[in-house]
Each structure stands twice: as structure tokens, then as C-alpha cells.
Structure 1
Amino acid sequence: MSARPVSSFSKTYGHLWFVLPGFAFFLAVMIFPLLFATGLSMTNWSGLGNDVSFIGLANYVEILTHWPFYRAAMHNAFIFLAILVFQHTVGLYLAVLLNEKPRFMQFYRTVLFLPVIMSLVATGFVWTLMLSPNIGLINPMLEKIGLGFLAQQWLSNPTWALIMIIMVTAWNSMGWAIIIYLAGLQNVPEELRQAAEMDGANSRQVFWRVVFPQLSPAFTALTVLTFIGTFRTFDVVYVLTGPLGAPNFATDVLGTLIYRTAFGGSSFSSADIRFAFGVAMALLTMVIMAVICWGLIRILRKREIES
């Protein structure tokens, strides 16, 4: 019995049937919601009722003169820079120590990476208790070691509240820096180290002149991931200082601002909810993040090639 001949169409395009389910899923969960959100952002819908009018780009124009948006973006930028410095210094240092393969290396790696897999909502609640001036652990500890004059209401002080947000975020994300840099260190060819040592280079010179330039891909990946993570910050701020970014919006970030605009905050009435305006704010934030990420990748990739 002869086999059924395969048509030229099946030969050329038959493999597309395997791609179709994934493509349909991508359309359903990414493209269609994005198009719907874009259309919604050009209306004045409050999120309640059926009163909807098309207003074009009015929401986007208003955002450009909306001071809370710039204030929140500056807080995000400050958090990003602080976390970036922390990860590229402390994270790299710990990765170098782990790369020496100390005893109980797996234990140390697990302990340092553990905060990454823990829920920020749960850990944020624990940090809230620890930083409490009444029942917390920080103030009593400072008093025990003779530094009681430093004790204060950490989450009620406009300056210290943002620093506490940075501290908790750094603690939570440090595991990524260690793992990424550790992977980069383990990919450095041993022959390069040995050649530098044979030329008379000491351990410090070997690291800075041979090993560190090889870590450029890890530096790029970590910088971009840190930027995306810090500009998506929401849960840690919401848990520690609430949707208003207390005190007095000192910790307000883009995530809490968008949430408060679209769904309302603890002291906002339904009349203050502007869902479409919040959607426009979220879309504009996404576009700005995409452009900055593209710029970062281009600049850092160029640095990789030069190094």
C-alpha cells in the first residue's frame, strides 16, 4: 500500500501548527490586553459605572504635568541607584568569597539566596514588626549596645522610611547578585588566571585586570534586572508604609501611585478613583522602562565588547 503523498504546503508550513498554540496564548495574554488597555487609557472611565468618553491623549498630556508621577519616579530612581551600588559591591564581594569554595558552601549559598524565594509580603510584615518603635527588635538592640540615641520611629521618619525600603529591598534581592556574579566567576577560564600569575601578577591584579573584565555580561544582566525590579517595586512599599507611601508620600513609588490612582487608597473616596488615568500612567511607565532598558543594554553591551 503506497504512502499518502505530502503536499508542498505541508512541507513548507506544516511546522507552523506547532507554533500556533503558543502564538494564540501570547495573543490572548499579552497583545489583546495591551491593545485593550491602550484603548481604555484614552477614555475618562473612572472604573465605576458606564460613563465612558473618548478623550484621546488627554490622560498622557496630564501625566506630563502631574508632579506626583515625577516624585514617585525619582523615588524609584533613588532606590535603583542605591540597590545597584549595593549589589555591585557587597553582592560581588560575597560571590568572590563563595567562589573560593569554602566549607559548607552549599549552606551559605542557600542561606544567601533564601530571601529571594520568600514572599515580600510576608517578609515585609516581619520587617514592619522589627522596625516598630514599640514592639520591634531594632530599637531595644540599639539600646543594649549603647546606641539608644539612634532609636527612632523608622517608618514614620521621611528620611529613614525610604532608607528602610532600600534596606529591605537590598536584603531581598542580594541573592540574585551573588548567583549571577558567582556564575560569571565560574565561567572565567582558569588558563587566564594562571597566565597572569606566571607573569608575576598578584591576586589583586589578577582579579581587577583579568577576572573583572570577564564579568561584563554578569554586570549587564544584573544592572538591567535591577532596573526592572526596582521600577516594579510595589509590595514592599505597600506592606511597610501603605498605599499612600507614608509618611507624607516620602516612600511613594510608581507602583503605589498607579495603584492608588486606579483603585483608590485608604483615605480616598470613590470620586477620586481614575482607573483610565491609572492605566495610562502604567502604560507610559512601561514605555519609559522599555526605552531605558534598551539604552542600558546597548551601552553595557558596547562596554562588554570593549573589555
Structure 2
Amino acid sequence: MFTFKQNKLIVIAFLIPALLFYISFMLYPAFYAIVLSFFKWSGVASTDTYFNGLNNYILLFRNPVFWLSVKNLVFLLVVSVLTQLPIAFILAYMLSGNIRYVNIFKVSYFMPVILSATAVSMMWKLILDDKYGLLNNFLRGVGLESLSRSWLTDPDISFKVITLINSWQHVGYFLIILIAGIATISEELFEALKIDGAGIFTTVFKVVIPLIKEVIGVCVVLILTQCMKTFDIIYVMTSGTFGPNNVNQVPVGLMYYRSFIEDNFGQGSAIATMVLLFGVLLSSVVYIKGFQQKNTV
């Protein structure tokens, strides 16, 4: 049997490349962004870098667009958890049973996940077009023209629509994780529940959910982290404007705009640092307080 104690050098030799890769492309950029957030820099290597302390953060907190982006992010987080997780769990529970063509259903639900965000965004952008889109033409065709709207430019609903599209794309990812979690529950337990006459409510809420609690916690953390870095789908669906009037702005989008449009990498790094700290703290608290199993003596 291959053991760590007998093969320490071999194990370390295989781990070192991955560790160096992680340090080079994950830890170092994060650390550098935190340091850069205290400087003023245009992003051009030949230009000077000036230390300005907390000025980037002060200007950021005084910017109403930043707080609008935070508000949108909170909305995105809440709606994503409340839509993706329940839908993924319901589908996972259904597909865990003995149904025909189960693999076809799994592939169908997982298909949006493997599509690029740009392709998904362009597809929905065509569907939701106010003049030629499939949705508005369908509403007009069935006599519901009053419900047709400019889905992606109406400031009252545009971000809500984008949030639901984002959830639609990622449900399949968590479906697969939850199916794997439910598969760890023994068939004998389900058979015993049937013999005892347990209903679906008892089976789901008293048995299945408690047994895969940590798996659900992992899904919640992944949803939160995915939402924290959401950018591409909003960028494409708003044609890079995050508008109208920044109503669809999110912190990562504002970071992109400050860094690459306004050449203010110091403030862009400050936004990145805030996103990093908020994401780590939120994910840690949610998982540890809400889903981690407590050891009992």
C-alpha cells in the first residue's frame, strides 16, 4: 500500500508544482492587489506609482455607484441562493429515483453550465429583444402585448431579469453536486422509510436534507463565490455599459471600469480587495455557522 510516511519525497514532489502554481496565480495576485489598493497607479508600467494611503477606499465609500453595486450584489446573492439551491435540490431528488432516460435529463440540465457565458448572454439577449425577440413576439401572438417590455433596458426589471438568467445557467452545476450527495444515502434507508409509511415531506426534511447538510453548505458557498465574481453575463447583456445609468452595476464590473476604462488601478484594486474580504468572510460565516456538522462527544 502506498503511504505518505514511506513515500514523503514522492508526495512532496508531486505537490510542489501545484503549490507553486497556486501561489503564483492565486495568492500573489491577491496579495499584490491588496498592496496596490493603497497606491495611485494608471496601470502602465512606465508610469510612476504614488502612495496615497486610504484615499482609494475613502473615495470608493463616497461613490454612490459603489453602493448601488453593493445593493445589486446583495440582491444577486439572495436571489441566486433562493432560486438555484431549491430548484437544483428538487431536480436532484427527482433524478435520484428510478426514472427512465435519467442520463438524458442530467445532460440537458447541465448543458447551460458548459456553455460560455458569452454564448448564453447573446442567446438570451436575442430572446429578450424588445422588437424582434422571441418572448415579446410570443406575448403579442397570444394577445398579451401589454406584458411585452424592454426587458434589458427597463431600469425597473433589467437587473432582476439578468439575475434569473444567471441562476438558470448555473442550476445544473449544483444539480450534479446534490445528486452525488443524495447517492451517498443507502438504498436500505429509503426502503425502510417506505415500509414505515414515511411521506415525501418526512423523507426530504427529516432524512435527506440532514444527511447531506454539508453538501448543501458547499453548494451555498459555491453560489456565493460565483455571484461575487459575476461580470461577464452582465457585461455582454448590457453591451458593456452596465446601464442604463449603472442600474446593472456590480462590484466586479465597477472594478473593471475603474481599472481598464479610467486607468485607475489603485481604486480598482481597492474594489477587488473589498470583494475578496467580503467573499471570504461571508462564505466562512455561512458555512461554519449554518452547515458544518457539530461534533458531539
TM-score, with structure 1 as normaliser: 0.86
Cα distance, 1:56 vs. partner?
2.2
Change (3 A) 1:305 1:238: farther
Moved more, 107-116 or 234-243: 234-243
1:282 to 253, 272, 275: 272
Instruction: Report if the CA contact (8 A) 1:113-1:176 is conserved.
Output: yes
Q: Percent identity?
A: 27
Contact 2:84 2:168 in 1 (8 A): no
Say if 1:217 and 1:304, in contact at 8 Å, map to a contact too: no
TM-superposed deviation, 1:164: 1.4
- Equivalent positions of 1:228-307 (< 5 A) are 228-264=225-261, 272-302=262-292
CA contact (8 A) 1:243 1:259 kept: no
**C-alpha distance in 1 between matches for 2:95 and 2:15:** 42
Check the 8 A contact 2:37/2:270 in 1, yes or no: yes
- Ranked by relative contact order (alpha carbons within 8 Å, sequence separation 6 or more), the top structure is 2
State the one-letter code of the partner of 1:275: F
**Distance (whole Å) between structure 2 residues aligned to residue 176 and residue 305 of structure 1:** 29
The one-letter code of the counterpart of 2:271 is M
Q: Which residue identity lines up with residue 46 of structure 1 in the other structure? A: S
What is the distance in 2 between the residues matched to 1:263 and 1:136? 32
Aligned equivalent of 1:182: 179
1:3 maps to what in 2?
A: none
The one-letter code of the counterpart of 2:159 is: L
Which residue does the alignment assign to 2:196?
199
SS of the residue 2:156 aligns to? helix
Q: Could you tell me how far 1:206 is from its partner in structure 2?
A: 2.3
Report how many residues are paired. Answer: 289
Aligned to 2:78: 81
Say if 1:208 and 1:254 are closer, same or farther in 2 by CA, change over 3 A. same
User: Distance between the aligned counterparts of 2:198 and 2:81, measured in 1?
Assistant: 30
Aligned-pair RMSD on alpha carbons? 2.3
What does 1:1-307 correspond to in 2, within 5 Å?
16-48=12-44, 50-264=47-261, 272-302=262-292
Greater alpha carbon shift after TM alignment, 192-201 vs 137-146:
192-201
Indicate conservation of the 8 Å contact 1:193/1:210, yes or no: no
Alpha-carbon distance change, 204 to 17 in structure 1, aligned in 2, over 3 angstroms: closer
Bigger mean CA offset, 164-173 vs 110-119: 164-173
Give unmatched runs, 5+ long, in structure 1.
Answer: 1-10, 265-271
- 1:59 partner SS: helix
* Bigger CA radius of gyration: 1
Partner of 1:5: none
Q: Is the 8 A contact 1:192 1:210 kept in 2?
A: no
Q: Which sits farther off after the overlay, 132-141 or 194-203?
A: 194-203
CA contact (8 A) 1:244 1:256 kept: no
Distance across 2 between alignment mates of 1:280 and 1:196: 54
- Distance of 2:263 and 2:23 partners within structure 1: 29
Taking structure 2 as the reference length, what is the TM-score of the superposition?
0.89
Q: Distance in 2 between matches of 1:170 and 1:14?
A: 43
Separation in 2, partners of 1:175, 1:18: 33
Which deviations, in whole Å up to 9, do the C-alpha atoms of 1:260-286 show, x marking residues without a partner? 11111xxxxxxx431211012112211
Q: Would the aligned equivalents of 2:217 and 2:292 in 1 still touch at CA under 8 Å?
A: no
Distance in 2 of aligned mates of 1:261 and 1:211:
46
Q: CA deviation at 1:42?
A: 1.7
CA shift for structure 1 position 89: 2.1
Q: Which runs of 5+ in 2 are unaligned?
A: 1-6
Equivalent residues of 1:155, 1:247 under 8 A apart: no
